[in-house]
Structure 1
Amino acid sequence: MSGSSPNTAGADAPVVRELQPALSFPPELLLKAQGPSLGLRAAIFDVDGVLTDGRIYLSAEGEEFKAFATLDGHGMKLLAQGGIVPIVITGRDSPAVRRRVADLGLPHAVYGARNKLAAAQPLLDQLGLRWDQVAVIGDDWPDLPLMVRAGFACAPAQAHAEVQAVAHHVTAAAGGHGAAREFCDLLLMAAGQYARLLHGHLETLDGSGH
């Protein structure tokens, strides 16, 4: 029987529903999260109490273990894709933290920083940034020198009272349980990048871990 068959190309292609962001923040908070310069370019993360719940697990041999939230890791990767440089500065040093930072592909990190301000300044100089272009999330007193200088300061829900007092925003989530992701989402939304990155995830996923 002659004749061509109907063109069925694309007949099995999935229908992608239009997606609008479900997450929102108050307009006044979004304005604060832009920083005084109306454009934050880097974000500094503490580890213990921010990327973890602050507890330290030790084996009988002294090996240190930490638990990290995948939500936070993906948020930090999204932050970089949105043009905001993630920086990790931690007062402790451990193979677990170094492995986590390496797995996330974060090029800027300082470990075992007794003085976090002294550790941060060379990195900002290297990146050509002023403090008013930097956001910080921390949970305890060693983070205070960074937070009082930053353009935007954030604290997890369980942070010390003095840290919460200087923060522009205290997250609903606790450290190690999504606080860093809330921080990332807020910065991305304030920068006008959140919706773009969300829609980009509907088009293609690289399958990489977080």
Structure 2
Amino acid sequence: MLSLIIADASIETIPLNLYKHHSLKKMRRFNKGPTDILLDRSFHHFAMVSSGMADLHKRGRPDILHIALVNALATPLYRKNMLKVFIHTIDNNVILVGDDVRIPKSYMRFEGLMLNLLKNKKIVSDDGKILLEMTSEMNIGYLIKEVIKSDSVVGFSTTGNYRNLESITMDLSQFTNPCVIIGGFPKGYFSKSVDVYFDKKYSISDMGLESHVVISRLLYEYEKKVLG
């Protein structure tokens, strides 16, 4: 079983100090509280920059997670229950993705889904099956060691050693519970709390690739090894 962790994912509601910023006065008139709004650089760029937000370059891009999930959960590997997907958020929470989950292709619907999850910590289907569950009691180390119980953890980063995906996935296919970690942020590097768990770290291109591109190519190559 291959596990995919989308780490340091840029998904969070707007912080209270940012919500009070003078540039967002018009937004507050619509009677939406800070927990009703996803932090989004498209709308909150000026407030984020002028307030000196920490890790500014990695935050405010929930669309990255959206595209990554749409790609991962549409693959034959996931649909055949041979892939588990997890999300590690930039504020160090973990989201467990269930089986047979269909992420809305519309970003507006995805935004509503994420706000519901961040507020209620769980998304349940009509028949009572847990589709998404968020927990602040599980860090990424516990996820890797106790939940996934991975026997090989591979991270993908421009700071890794170059290696082609065919040989990487050939190695991964030899393990029982391999785990791959791909960033869910627009630029920068993994946080130290994530980077410390890599057994190996690879770069697959001489240029930075978007998360969904790495995920699509990686899962396709892995499928060729395990599905034939």
Same fold by TM-score, threshold 0.5 exceeded? no
Give the structure with the higher percent strand. 2
Larger C-alpha radius of gyration, 1 or 2? 1
